[in-house]
Amino acid sequence: MGDSALDRASAPGGTRADWRTTLLDSAWQVLDANWTGTSTIPSRSLYPHQWSWDAAFIAVGRSWTDQRRAQSELESLFAAQWANGMLPHIVFNPAAPPGSYFPGPDFWDAGRAVGRAGRSGPASSGITQPPIHARAALQVYQRASDTGEARAFLARLFPKLSAQHDYLAGSRDPAGHGLAVIVHPWESGMDNAPIWDDDLELAVPPGVLPPYRRHDLVHADPADRPTAAAYDRFVYLAVTYRDAGYDDSTLLATSPFLVEDPLFNAIWCWSAHALAEIATILGEDPGPHRELAARISADMLAHLWDPASGRFHAWDVRGGRLLRKNTISSLMPLLDPALPAAQLAAISADLASPHFRPDAPGAFPVPSHDLLAPEFDRRRYWRGPVWINTNWLLWHGLRQHGAPRPAAEIAASAVALARLSGWREYFDPFSGEGYGSTDFSWSAALVTDLLRSGTVQ
């Protein structure tokens, strides 16, 4: 245990008898300490700006007790949406010290983007992240105490959420598969996952990389973070997209990295269903959103399902091949309510197998990568540790498919990790040790959601 808010909350003298109350109080302290006035940063040290899918998870956590801040979280993010509907993965916080995160606003130079033309707004990055926001907005509405205000919030957000989904369908489908591609591992949210290893085997032309300093290594143990070679390639891919003016009409000609990922598309499908519900609440037509969700579902099955391995895998548009790495992304089609029985059975079996169920007393499911794969690394970022957000997504997926028992176990694992190691960014599946940043917002927000939902007894 380090000097986290949880340690402080449970320190002698400040202790309350009920561990749930202690945990919820300390989660609240973390979120409040990370509040900027309009949004919540993921962590004071490592991530001093607003991140896109983090904001959605944080809004879900806040929705239980602070409707105003939950709404603000999403609305401040959408203030940075581009004219073409692209929702950036980072909205820069003007109060953060210059140079406190790389790559910063100067690197991204979003002003030159074709798709941002005519739009001002806060400085942002030039890439996106998993589109979970419609789902989060719906949950904020459903828990609101002021329903009139919540409806007005939904009405303000609805056209923006629709534009986000239209952007993905219209500009991010160069293969014509009906699925959205990511143009950078950072867009996946699972930045350093082994799925991208083969595609990152690219030669960075000399002189292309700007000189840069990795701030993450100042704030985190290098053993927990991406290697120098991986980071160079991340920067190279970002430079390439930026220098093509972030022009999605030329993706096939310019982008070395084009991947249709199960996690990204399953979340999109789940959110399209939420957007249909939002449309119904607002008296709008839910039809187009339902149709989009049905198309994503059918196209994931047609293009990402691999009968040979019995798993969903990412499709590499450039290489014309499935990327057969068994990460937690392969399990995420559970979020699709229309997932057929055969695929549901295969994912459920994988989850219960030694690939994803640590076979050791007191271990913590669900590792982010196959425990039996050669690349599995119990502490390195997205290559094996447990993350609270992926447990939370699987919890939802399993519950919607009528599997409350495994869902509750996964939720209990997330809560137990927070109790043991505090609000860390990710956790060792065997020992429960926490890694990465401390006082990490989505860990606090989503454990709040799990506890308040009453799943964990």
Residue range at the interface with ligand 2M8 (CB under 6 A); choices 45-53, 140-148, 195-203, 359-367: 45-53
Residue range at the interface with ligand 2M8 (CB under 6 A); choices 3-11, 47-55, 116-124, 364-372: 47-55
CA-CA-CA-CA torsion sign (54, 59, 60, 61): positive
- Backbone φ and ψ of 122, nearest 5°: -60, 150
Query: Which residue, 77 or 150, is less far from ligand 2M8 as judged by CB?
Result: 77
Q: Which two tokens stand for residue 457?
A: 């007894």
Our measurement of the distance from residue 428's CA atom to the centroid of its chain's CA atoms, rounded to an integer in Å, reads: 19
Question: How many chain residues are in contact with ligand 2M8, going by CB under 6 A?
Answer: 10
CB 53 within 8 A of CB 129: yes
Residue of 7, 32, 149, 191 marked catalytic:
191
264 contacts ligand 2M8 (rule: CB under 6 A): no
Q: Which of residues 180-219 bind ligand 2M8 (CB under 6 A)?
A: 186, 189, 191, 216
434 contacts ligand 2M8 (rule: CB under 6 A): no
The two beta strands, 305-306 and 50-51, are unpaired
Is 261 considered catalytic here? no
Is 66 considered catalytic here? no
Longest pairwise C-alpha distance within the chain: 63
> Which one of residues 54, 224, 316, 336 is an interface residue with ligand 2M8 (CB under 6 A)?
54
53 contacts ligand 2M8 (rule: CB under 6 A): yes
- Which of 438, 383, 55 lies closest to 197 in space, CA to CA? 383
CA-CA-CA-CA torsion sign (126, 445, 273, 398): positive
- Residue 85 CA to residue 241 CA, distance in Å, equals 17
Q: Is the peptide bond before 317 cis (omega within 30 degrees of 0)?
A: no
Query: Which residue, 261 or 277, is less far from ligand 2M8 as judged by CB?
Result: 261
CB 193 within 8 A of CB 383: yes
> Which one of residues 28, 35, 51, 78 is an interface residue with ligand 2M8 (CB under 6 A)?
51
Residue of 216, 425, 439, 449 marked catalytic:
425
Query: Which residue, 364 or 442, is less far from ligand 2M8 as judged by CB?
Result: 442
Q: Which residues are catalytic?
A: 191, 425
Residues that bind ligand 2M8 (CB under 6 A): 42, 47, 51, 53-54, 89, 186, 189, 191, 216
